[in-house]
Amino acid sequence: MEREIARAIARVGIKVENQIAVAREMEKPITVLSIDGGGVRGIIPGVCLEFLESELQKLEKDPNARLVDYFDVISGTSTGGLIAAMISAPGDDKRPLYAAEKIVPFYKENCPKIFPNSGNWSEPNKTFAGEMLLKITETWEEIGQTSVTEAYDAKFEEIGGVKKPYYDGKYLHQLAKKILGEKRLHDTLTKVVIPAFDIKKLSPVVFSSYQVDNDQNKFLDALLSDICISTSAAPVYLPAYEFSNEGVEFNMIDGGVAANNPTVAAITEAVKRRSEDIEKDEKKLDVNSFRLVVLSLGTCQHKTEKYNVKMANSWWAVNWLIYPLRKWWKADHPLPEILFDANSDMIDYYCTMFFESFHNAENFLRVQDDKLPEDLARLDNGSPANLEKLEKYAKNLLNKPVTHLNPATFERSEVDTDETYAEALKK
C-alpha cells in the first residue's frame, strides 16, 4: 500500500511538474523575424541581420550562436524568403547553412549573375530588348514608318506588350537547387513562413512549417528550393515557376503580390499554433498568452511624387508595367512598384496599430526607410557598384534614429527617443 501511495504521489508530482513546465513555456513571448521582398535590396536586411547576430554572439559569449536559436519563426517574401531559408536550413552539422555574416557576400557574388547586364541598360537585354529591337528593325520598312520610335510604338500595338520577363531565371533556379538540395520545409531549424502566389488558383500560398505538421497539409512540405524560386518569381522581372508536390500542382509567382511584408502572415501562424497548444493543455486563453516580440526588416523605399493622374490617364495599358516605353532600358514599373510598396506599408500599418492598441509598441521594431536614393531603388540592379552602395547605405541606416509609420499620413517619422536602429537591435 505504501508503495502504491508513493507511486501515486510521484505520478502527481510529475504531472504537476509537467504542467508548470508547460505554463512556463506558454508565458514565453513568441519571437518573430520577418524579412521583406525587394530583389537586390535584400542586402539591407542582410546587413541588419549580420549586426544582430554578432551582438547576440557577444551577449552569449558564443561565436556559434545563430539567429534560429532566438526566433520562434522566421518569415520572408521573395528575396526575404531566400534569406529565411539560408539562415534556417540545416547544414551537415545540423546548424544553419549560412551564418548571417555570409548573406551580404552571397548577394555580392550572385546578384550580378541573377540580373546580368542590369547595371548597364544601354545594352539590350538578351531575353526582351534584343528580340524587340530585332522585330522593330525587321518591320521598320514594312510598316512604312519614318522613325524607330514610330516602329517601336507600332510593334507594341501589334504584340500587345512585353513578350518575356527581363531575365530567364536560370541561374537563380540552379543556385537555389544547389545550395538547398533536397531539404524540405519541415527540415528547417526553426519555424519558417514563406508566402507565394498561385496564378492558376488566383490564391496566395503560405508555405508554413506550422502547417506541414498536419498530415492533411503534406503537400505544403515542398523542397525549399522550389519554395524560394516561387516566392522570388517577380512579374516582369523573372518567369513564373511551376512544380508539383504530393500530387498537387503549383503555378507560382512572387509572394510580394500577396504579402511583400510577411510579418502578419508569420504572426498569424505562430499565434494560431500557440492557441492550439494552450487549448490542448486545457489552459485559459487570454491576451497574455500571446506576448509577441517582432522584428520586421524592410528593404527600404524611394518615396517621391513620381506619378499623377494626368500621367496615368495618358498611359497605354502596358505603361502600367513599363513607363516610359521609349526608354524601356531604364524605365519605371509603376504597377509592380505600387503593389509591393502599398502591400508592405499596409502590413506596417496593421502591426503599428495592433501593438499601440495593446500598449506594447516597444515589442515591435520595423527597420525601414522611405528615403532610399532613387539610384539605389531598383530591385534588379545587380552591378557590383550598386551592391556596394546598398551595403554602405544599410550600415548608415543602423546609426540613424528609429522611425515608425504615421498611420494618418503613411510617412515615417522619428520616435520620441533618440534611439538608433543599432541601439534598438541590441535591446
Proportion of the chain above pLDDT 70, given as a percent: 78
| Domain with residues 30-116+167-307+333-425, CATH architecture | 3-Layer(aba) Sandwich (3.40)
**Lowest mean per-residue pLDDT among 193-197, 276-280, 311-315:** 276-280
- Looking at 34, 78, 296, 344, which residue is catalytic? 78
Q: What is the pTM of this model?
A: 0.85
Asked if 44 and 299 count as a contact pair (C-beta separation under 8 A), the reply is: yes
Question: Tens digit of pLDDT for each residue in 288-336?
Answer: 556 899 999 999 999 888 889 998 898 888 788 877 755 555 678 888 8
Q: Which of 161, 230, 223 is nearest to 198 (CA)?
A: 230
- What pLDDT does 145 receive? 47
DSSP 283: P
Q: Residues near 210 by Cβ (< 8 Å), separated by ≥ 6?
A: 73, 191, 193, 269, 270, 272, 273
Domain borders along the chain are: 30-116+167-307+333-425
pLDDT of residue 125: 46
Q: Count Cβ atoms below 10 Å from residue 12 Cβ, excluding itself.
A: 10
Of 117-126, 247-256, 288-297, which gets the smallest average pLDDT?
117-126
Work out the average pLDDT over 270-296: 73
Look at residue 143 and tell me whether its pLDDT is greater than 60: no
Nearest to 228 by CA among 259, 249, 204, 207: 207
Residue with the larger pLDDT of the pair 122 and 360: 360
Task: State yes or no: is 413 an active-site residue.
Answer: no
Tens of pLDDT, residues 370-413: 999 989 999 999 999 999 999 999 999 999 999 999 999 999 99
* pLDDT on residue 276: 74
From 36, 72, 221, 254, the catalytic residue = 254
CA-CA distance, 411 to 414, in Å (whole number)? 10
Q: Has residue 239 got a pLDDT over 80?
A: yes
Q: Is the pLDDT of residue 139 over 80?
A: no
Digit-coded pLDDT (tens) for 164-177: 788 999 999 999 99
Residue 116, pLDDT > 60, answer yes
Question: Does residue 78 carry a catalytic annotation?
Answer: yes
- pLDDT higher than 50, residue 416: yes
* 110-120: average pLDDT: 81
Residue 126 has pLDDT above 60, yes or no: no
Kindly state the DSSP code that residue 321 receives in the 8-state scheme. T
- Distance (Å, rounded) from C-alpha 113 to C-alpha 387? 13
